[in-house]
Amino acid sequence: MDGEVARPLGLGLERLIMKPGRSNRTQSLLVAAAVSALGCSGGRQNARGADPARVNAHISKATEIAGADLRTPLELCETAGHVHVPSADLTNEVRAPMANSYMDPVRVFDNLYFVGTTWVSSWAVRTSGGIVLIDALDNDQEAHDSIEGGLRKLGLDPAEIRYVLITHAHGDHYGGANYLVRKYHARVFLSEIDWRELEKSSLEFDTPLWGRPPRRDGIVKDGERLSLGDTTIEVYATPGHTPGALSFAFPVSDHGQPHRALLWGGFGINAGPIASRFRSFVESTRRAQTLVRDEHIDVLIANHPSIDDSPTKMKELAQRPPGGRHSYVIGEQAVGRFLAVAGECTAAALASFDASAAPP
């Protein structure tokens, strides 16, 4: 990557600077940066009760697990000592990544389609009974241009959208839902916890650039199996990013070859130094690693293209020779390692501001 590019993580509240040669950095540099930042101020949380030794241990373990191929989750370690304190109005923070973010839709698997933007993802699962859409982008315009228009470009009928599953209660994921409800009478599903978040008088994060929250509709619970036609989507509570964040496991196929995919529903913590949220995220990643082993999940996708490195994988997919490796099929072991790295880096961030709450 040429030059320096501000890369959004999660909601984009924490911006990580990607530099040439990042993949060659050693864990000692990450540790040094984290530990030196433990007493920082000026828009970031001052460390209180920090445990530099534990920060070091978690970053060292994360770096070892990440190896040379999993750099994206390792970037979470750079939040150690730099826990972001968000502003009430996110307009200035999200305006740039939302601007000119249209990208062409892509058929990623036989039954899975990307209809998102360069900034935030929306995934369409085609079933024999209609379409299940996972996340609805920022607002009506994006729903019209990228979801509705994208499905049509791919030869699909947006009128076939039956369900809209929202991963969590942030507007860049539910903002276009009302458009789909009004036009196609789609049902919207969210966890009970995050429905309650959307019904509060003051949202955790908001900006006029996002559509308004949808009205309460369907509720999906941890361990529930949501079926449409020939496809069943398994629902898992993975709190941390929000209290009620959800992730989904479902079947995909590549020229008839079956695989299992996990869509991780909320990456990183951007609500400030709230220890309980960090602990929840760490536990969610540990639980998900068991799920990956039990269900032999070999595909990881996310709800922001920067998290699962969709731009690179889509380019590789377009250039794949007949019979070549599918760029999104990274293997069961790599999916588990991705989650492990994210968990260790989040534990490092927690230890950087609250030693008493840091998990072992």
pLDDT of residue 360: 60
First-residue to last-residue Cα distance in the chain: 36
Range in 19-23, 51-55, 148-152, 334-338 the model is least confident about: 19-23
358 confidence band (pLDDT: 50, 70, 90) = low
31 confidence band (pLDDT: 50, 70, 90) = low
Query: What value does the mean pLDDT of the chain take?
Result: 88
pLDDT of 27 over the 70 cut: no
Q: Summarize pLDDT for 167-215 with one digit per residue, the tens.
A: 999 999 999 999 999 999 999 999 999 999 999 999 989 999 999 999 9
pLDDT of residue 291: 97
pLDDT of residue 20: 31
pTM above 0.85, yes or no: yes
pLDDT of residue 12: 38
Question: Residue 233 phi/psi, 5° resolution?
Answer: -110, 125
255 confidence band (pLDDT: 50, 70, 90) = very high
Domains by residue range for the chain, with CATH: 101-266+298-329 (3.60.15.10)
